[in-house]
Amino acid sequence: MEEANEVCVPADQHQNLNSIFHSSNIANKINVSYREAVGSILYLSQVSRLDIAYSVNLVSRYLDNYKKIHWNSVKRIIKYVKGTIGYDFAGCVEARRSTTGVIFNLSSAAISWKSQKQATVSLSTTEAEYVAASIAVKDLL
């Protein structure tokens, strides 16, 4: 996967893994390390990359009966991770703090908006998102 092209979305929304699961086409069955690959990206999704959690959930449903389309979905997640590995939740490289952006709309008009650097250094993307959600709720109230 080192030479793979990067993708910007971890799952293809137009790909239906369910209908293929029920097909009995033997030609689609492959012999790869599917469980190991899914286990690796599952660990990654739980530790530091919550953005792939939904996609990993989809492919992990087929651990016992996977086919080529499922393997391609796992590879797509890996391509996504490869393409976004340099993304950093800390927008300010010097202070290592993230930036929160909040906007509230009524109908189609913005009635309140804010963009600010977070007061604390977050240890993960998830923590930075929780801080941003907290700031948004405070603004809403």
Give the model's pLDDT for residue 77. 95
For the chain, what are the domain ranges? Answer: 17-84, 99-140
Residues 1 and 42 sit within 8 Å (Cβ to Cβ)? no
Q: Tens of pLDDT along 14-28?
A: 788 875 555 666 556
pLDDT at position 42: 93
pTM score, whole prediction: 0.62
Residue 26 has what pLDDT? Answer: 59
Backbone angles phi, psi at 125, to 5 degrees: -60, -40
More confident residue, 88 or 40: 40
Q: Which of 9, 59, 2, 54 is nearest to 34 (CA)?
A: 59
Instruction: Answer positive or negative: Cα dihedral of 67, 72, 75, 77.
Output: negative
Per-residue model confidence as pLDDT tens digits over 77-100: 999 999 988 776 566 667 778 888
DSSP reduced 3-state for 130: helix
Which three-class secondary structure string do you get for 29-65? CCCCCHHHHHHHHHHHHHHCCHHHHHHHHHHHCCCCC
Q: Which is nearest to 80 in space by CA: 13, 11, 126, 14?
A: 11
Cβ neighbour number for residue 119 with a 10 Å cutoff? 9
